[in-house]
Structure 1
Amino acid sequence: MWMWLIALLAIIPCLSDAKRHFFPKLFREPSFQHLTFAMCFGLFLLWSAEAGVKEGLNIHFLALTSLTLMYGWTIAYLLCFPIVLSLTLFGSLSYELIGQYLVLSCLIPILTSYAVFLTSYRFLPRNIFIYIFIAGFLNGAISGSVQLIATGLFNLIIDLHQWQEIVNNYLIFIVLLAFPEGLLNGMAITLLSVFKPEWLRTFSDRDYIYNHYHKK
């Protein structure tokens, strides 16, 4: 039940951003509607293709770093709700696990992705290569790994599995999944930053391109 509470409390800071920026743009711009619906449908398909290692220990690609860089963490988290509800309606996720799924597989990797982006923005040179390889590729690998660790720790806390069992049967996949998760997000961010930078809320030509060459 406390997972439900965390999942719902996390919506509070999202509502003002959605009211001021997201919903007006969504209702006003058909192209933005199509983009948003396509992203939700794509994530629904991606998350539907999950592998169950053991009870409570499921693995799937997230692509939440791309979603976070496109919409910001608040809107990215809000968009997870219709996706998770769709997974429940189609039988891929049980109703009892919605709160747990929202926190472990949505909120935590989204906040991790945004934290890595902010760290790179604050402390690293602002150029497009840093944005692609650090905020995109490395960020995706980190957020995917954090999600697996958080899920493993949660199963340990609720005493569903023993730690050694979690390590040997679940956390071992971090080595195998970190690179493809990073590659998936890195490729998406590369394409978007080159061809559709206006779709990336966290990307600015002024910061990552013009200022970089102006300093030279």
Structure 2
Amino acid sequence: MIIIGILVLLGAAWSFDWRTWLGDKTRHHLCFGAAIALVPLWMLQAGVKPGLEVHFLGLTTLALLLGWRMGLMMSSLSLLLVTAFGFESWPMFGPNLLLGVIIPLSASYLLFLLTYSYLYRHLFVYIFVAGFFNAALTITLKTLLFSGFMVWTDQHSWQVVVDNYLSVLPLLLFPEALLNGMAITVLVLFKPDWVCTYRDRDYIINK
């Protein structure tokens, strides 16, 4: 899994516009600040079985704020820091990278692209669909992926996963959606130029 994850990150880095990014110091602070902000969020974990810890993701906000390529790189940096601090194990770095970062963030960005392409472009659509509901779907996907991984690798039985992991998911959906929805709302209202997936001309002007 770690090889697949590294290949995806290399592909994202290869196709990224580094020249523009390197010339924008504000963007540097924003990207690394977003990566650091995820670290304490991911450190706040709860769980009763090894490998079945739950925490808020914040990946939808990162995907909308930084875009797919930089979002992947910065969230991977967050995972690296959390693992280095001992809150995640190094043997699980590959699964955490692929199942906990790359696939959920990519799915979140894909849903944004679908809303941008097929739904009416309005501020409330951006906040509630691309932000709020998108975040709930993202944490659902991540939880299901890890559930399948734990059962597939025989680390836990399906019943243990259901009782100690999937049963907590309904309690996480609304807080995760609210966290990301509020973050995106504040950003597009006060710092819309920070959010690379948002433009006033698409969602407000001439509406």
TM bracket (short chain): over 0.9
Residue 69 in 1 paired to residue 64 in 2? yes
Unaligned runs of 5+ in 2: none
Contact residue 34 and residue 74 of structure 2 kept, 8 A: no
Contact residue 109 and residue 144 of structure 1 kept, 8 A: yes
Select between 168-177 and 23-32 the one with higher mean Cα deviation.
23-32
Contact residue 120 and residue 134 of structure 1 kept, 8 A: yes
Equivalent pairs counted in the alignment come to: 207
Identify which of 186, 191, 195 aligns with 1:191: 186
Separation of aligned partners in 1, 2:169 and 2:25: 39
SS of the residue corresponding to residue 121 of structure 2 reads coil
Separation of aligned partners in 1, 2:104 and 2:121: 23
Unaligned runs of 5+ in 1: none
Shift of the alpha carbon at 1:25? 4.2
Contact residue 32 and residue 74 of structure 2 kept, 8 A: no
Identify which of 5, 8, 11 aligns with 2:9: 11
**TM-score normalised per structure 2:** 0.94
Identify which of 79, 82, 85 aligns with 1:84: 79
Matched to 2:13, the amino acid is: L
Separation of aligned partners in 1, 2:155 and 2:63: 31
Separation of aligned partners in 2, 1:78 and 1:40: 9
SS of the residue corresponding to residue 110 of structure 1 reads helix
Residues 87-127 of structure 1 deviation map (CA, whole Å, 9 limit, x = unaligned): 22211122111111111111121012112111211221110
Matched to 1:48, the amino acid is: M
Separation of aligned partners in 2, 1:160 and 1:30: 45
Select between 196-205 and 135-144 the one with higher mean Cα deviation.
196-205
Residues 18-76 of structure 1 deviation map (CA, whole Å, 9 limit, x = unaligned): 3x2xx334432332222222211110111111113312111011000000001111211
CA RMSD of aligned residues (A): 1.4
Separation of aligned partners in 1, 2:161 and 2:43: 22
Query: 2:171 aligns to what?
Result: 176
**TM-score normalised per structure 1:** 0.90
Separation of aligned partners in 1, 2:109 and 2:33: 22
Separation of aligned partners in 2, 1:209 and 1:16: 34
Contact residue 47 and residue 164 of structure 2 kept, 8 A: no
